[in-house]
Amino acid sequence: MKKADTIWMNGKLIPWDEANVHVLTHTLHYGNGVFEGTRAYKTDKGLAIFRLRDHTKRLLNSAKITMIKSPYTLEELENAQIELLQKNSFESNVYIRPLIYLGYGIMGLYHVKAPVEVAIAAWEWGSYLGDDGLENGIRVKISSFARNSVKSTMGKAKAVANYLNSQMAKFEALESGYEEALLLDDEGFIAEGSGECFFIVRDGKIITPPNDNSLESITQATVIELAQKLGYTVEHRRITRDEVYIADEAFFTGTAAEVTPVREVDARIIGEGKRGPVTEHLQKEYFDVVYGRNKDFEHYLTYI
């Protein structure tokens, strides 16, 4: 991670190394906090945040779900992210991490009297799963950890606590020699990656699981909208693990992952064992969108 000059905390820009919290910060002990992952791209017109409003809305929705009252409005949080990028000297693409968390003041499980804090950090960050992964695809392991059940947690919130599940799945995959994990839901159907949504391609159709057991992904929605505009048939339905094994293509989507091909799952080669033509087409078109080269989608960009 490359340091920036400042981090926005509770309405002020703080030097990067001084943006600290108390050891008794409530979220640190009990896991109730929410965050976002947003990207800004160096376009021909300068740095532009991709789908700023949608990401900020989801941040506030996550806070509502987890019973945290944000001290800042949608517009204030949007302006804070813009200000942060304006005041730092970024030379390449940027990842933005807003965080609403419960600070120092009380202990115990009843959280509503804990002070609510907000921090927004941003740093230059390249491809999450590697440039080689974007071009040649990655190897994926279906995890022994099931995606958090809707009967026991709230998956529509991008909540801090939900990501212990993802960390354990990711660790298991890497320790087993793979590059990413794919989680099933508690009924055995494909849910999502450790931090990405999942797609397969069969007989020219693009298929992605419903969001019953996954985050409502902004990148997934973008890719679906883009694919339909390009004339592809998109199906939102359940996928079994064995259907993944016989897919013609597979890929992950996410703010960090962007559009990353999957070349192998559980030692089964997917398609030709490389980025497939549909994936490559969607990947190219997606990058045209986020870099401002597709005028039909330019309304998703907030130029800095």
**199: domain CATH number?**
3.20.10.10
Q: Is residue 295 part of a domain?
A: no
Tell me what pLDDT residue 126 has.
83
**Has residue 189 got a pLDDT over 90?**
yes
pLDDT at 127: 80
For 7-31, what is each residue's pLDDT tens digit? 999 999 999 999 999 999 999 999 9
Catalytic site residue from 42, 45, 57, 158? 158
User: Given 80, 105, 124, which residue is the final one in a domain?
Assistant: 124
Q: What is the mean pLDDT of residues 207-217?
A: 91
Identify whether residues 257 and 108 lie together within a single domain. no
Q: Please give the pLDDT value at position 68.
A: 98
pLDDT tens string 241-291: 999 999 999 999 999 999 999 999 999 999 999 999 999 999 999 999 999
For the record, the structure tokens of 196 come out as: 């990405």
- Provide the pLDDT for residue 163: 96
Nearest to 148 by CA among 84, 201, 213: 213
Domain end residue (candidates: 101, 124, 147): 124
Residues 175, 76, single domain; the answer is no
Whether 256 and 143 share a structural domain: yes
Give the domain-ending residue among 94, 124, 154: 124
Split at pLDDT 50, 70, 90, the class of 239 is very high
- Answer with the residue of higher pLDDT: 211 or 48: 48
Show the domain range for 224. Answer: 131-290
Percent of the chain with pLDDT over 70: 100
Average pLDDT, the chain: 96
Res. 129 pLDDT band, cuts 50 70 90: confident
103 and 183 inside one domain: no
Provide the number of structural domains found in the chain: 2
Would you state the structure tokens that stand for residue 32, as one six-digit string?
């109730």
Is the same domain home to 73 and 191? Answer: no
Active site residue 229: no
State pTM to two decimals. Answer: 0.95
Q: What is the pLDDT of residue 74?
A: 98
Question: Does residue 223 share a domain with residue 163?
Answer: yes
Per-residue model confidence (pLDDT) at position 112: 96
pLDDT tens digits along 75-89: 999 999 999 999 999
Q: Given a cut of 90, is residue 292 above it in pLDDT? A: yes
H/E/C letters for each residue in the chain? CCCCCEEEECCEEEEHHHCCCCCCCHHHHHCCEEECCEEEEEECCEEEEECHHHHHHHHHHHHHHCCCCCCCCHHHHHHHHHHHHHHCCCCCCEEEEEEEEECCCCCCCCCCCCCEEEEEEEEECCCCCCHHHHHHCEEEEECCCCCCCCCCCCCCCCEHHHHHHHHHHHHHHHHCCCCEEEEECCCCEEEEECCCEEEEEECCEEEECCHHHCCCCHHHHHHHHHHHHCCCCEEECCCEHHHHHCCCEEEEEECCCEEEEEEEECCEECCCCCCCHHHHHHHHHHHHHHCCCCHHHHHHEEEC
User: Model confidence over 95-107: pLDDT tens digits?
Assistant: 999 999 999 999 9
Q: Does the pLDDT at position 1 exceed 90?
A: no
